[in-house]
Amino acid sequence: MVVTRFAPSPTGYLHIGGLRTALFNWLFARKNNGKFRLRIEDTDLSRNKQEAVDAIIKAFNWTGLNYDDEVVFQSERFDIYKKYINELLKKGLAYKCYLTKEELEKIREAKLKGEKPPIDIRKYRDFKGELDKPYVIRFKTPLEGKICFEDGVKGKQCVDASEIEDFVIARSDGTPTYNFVVVIDDKEMGMSDIIRGDDHLRNTFKQLLIYKAFGWDVPNFYHVPMIHNEKGAKMSKRDGAVDVMEYKKEGYLPEALLNFLVRLGWSYGDQEIFSIEEMINLFDPKDINKAPSRFNKEKLDWLNSHYIKNSPNERIERILRDDFGVDIVNHDKKEILIDELKERVKTLKEMAREIEKILTPPSEYNEKAIKKFLKEDAINNLREFIEFLKDKDPKLPPDWHKVMDEFLKQKEIKPKFLMPPLRIAMVGDTKGIDLAALLSVLGKEEVIKRVNTLLSKI
RNA sequence: GUCCCCAUCGUCUAGUGGUCUAGGAUACCGCCCUUUCACGGCGGCGACACGGGUUCGAAUCCCGUUGGGGACGCCA
- Is residue A457 part of the annotated active site? The answer reads no
| pLDDT (0 to 100) of residue A422 | 96
Separation between Cα atoms, residue A239 and residue A228, nearest integer Å: 10
Helix (H, G, I), strand (E, B) or coil at A6: strand
Global pTM value = 0.94
Residues 276-295 of A with CB under 7 A from strand B: 287, 289-294
> Cα(first)–Cα(last) distance of chain A, in Å?
75
CA/C1' separation A220–B55 (Å) = 37
B70 C1' closest Cα residue: A199
- Spatial distance between the Cα atoms of A98 and A120, rounded to a whole number of angstroms: 12
Q: How far is the C-alpha of A21 from the C-alpha of A227, rounded, in Å?
A: 10
Q: HSE, CB side, 13 Å, CA atoms: give it for residue A15.
A: 20
Question: What's the pLDDT at A2?
Answer: 97
Q: How far is the CA of A311 from the C1' of B14 (A)?
A: 29
Output the CA torsion A66→A69→A75→A76 (10° steps).
160
d(CA A211, CA A216): 5
Coil, strand or helix at A306: helix
C1' of B34 to CA of A436 (Å): 13
Q: What is the pLDDT of residue A15?
A: 93
CB-neighbour burial class of residue A456 (10 A; exposed 0-12, middle 13-18, buried 19+): exposed
Half-sphere exposure of A185 (CA within 13 A, CB side): 28
A11 touches strand B (CB under 7 A): no
State whether the beta carbon of A408 lies below 7 angstroms from any atom of strand B: no
Within 13 Å of residue A340, how many CA atoms lie on the same side as its CB? Answer: 20
Q: In angstroms, how far is B20 C1' from A285 CA?
A: 28
Strand B close residues, chain A 183-242, CB < 7 angstroms: 198-203, 225-226, 228, 232-234
Gap between the Cα atoms of A253 and A316, Å rounded = 10
Task: From A412, A417, A414, A421, select the one nearest A439 (Cα to Cα).
Answer: A421
Judged by C1' against the alpha carbon of A397, the nearest nucleotide is B35
C1' nearest to CA of A305: which nucleotide?
Answer: B39
Query: Using CA atoms, how far apart are residues A455 and A458, in angstroms rounded to an integer?
Result: 6
Each of the 458 residues of chain A gets a pLDDT tens digit; together they read: 999 999 999 888 999 999 999 999 999 999 999 999 999 999 876 666 788 889 999 999 999 999 999 999 999 999 999 999 999 999 999 999 999 989 999 999 888 888 888 889 999 999 988 899 999 999 999 999 999 999 999 999 999 999 999 999 999 999 999 999 999 999 999 999 999 999 999 999 999 999 999 999 999 999 999 999 888 888 877 777 789 999 999 999 999 999 999 999 999 999 999 999 999 999 999 999 999 999 999 999 999 999 999 999 999 999 999 999 999 999 999 999 999 999 999 999 999 999 999 999 999 999 989 998 998 889 999 999 999 999 999 999 999 999 999 999 999 999 999 999 999 999 999 999 999 999 999 999 999 999 999 999 87
Give the relative orientation of helices A435-442 and A419-427 as an angle to the nearest 10 degrees.
Answer: 40
In Å, how far are A196, A224, A349 from A291, measured between CA atoms?
Answer: 14, 9, 33
**Residues contacting residue A15 through CB under 8 Å, at least 6 positions apart:** A8, A235, A242, A243, A244
Q: How far is the CA of A406 from the C1' of B41 (A)?
A: 31
CA distance A98 to A382: 89
Comparing CA positions, the residue from A243, A263, A267, A245 lying closest to residue A254 is A245
Measured between alpha carbons, how far is residue A274 from residues A59, A268, A415 in Å? 20, 10, 43
Between CA A235 and C1' B61 the distance (Å) reads: 34
Residue count (chain A): 458
- Predicted local confidence at residue A46, as pLDDT: 62
Q: Report which of residues 143-162 in chain A place their beta carbon less than 7 angstroms from any atom of strand B.
A: 154-155, 157, 159
**What does the pLDDT read at residue A366?**
92
- Quick count: other Cβ atoms within 10 Å of Cβ A279? 22
Nearest nucleotide over every DNA/RNA strand to the A418 CA, judged by C1': B35
Measured distance CA(A235)–CA(A198) in Å, rounded: 14
Q: How far is the CA of A27 from the C1' of B9 (A)?
A: 30
Residues in CB range of A155: below 8 A, 6 or more apart = none
With a 7 Å cutoff on the CB, does A343 touch strand B? yes
Asked whether residue A425's C-beta has any atom of DNA/RNA strand B within 7 A, the reply is no
Predicted local distance difference test score (pLDDT) of residue A385 = 96
Which of A297, A288, A71, A73 is CA-nearest to residue A197?
Answer: A288
Question: Which pLDDT value is given to residue A303?
Answer: 98
- DSSP letter, residue A190: T
Q: Which nucleotide is nearest to A270 (CA to C1')?
A: B24
Beta bridge partners of A96: A137
Using the 8-state DSSP alphabet, how is residue A429 labeled? S
Nucleotide nearest to A439 (CA to C1'): B35
> Does A174 contact strand B, using a CB cutoff of 7 Å?
no
CA A444 to chain centre: 44
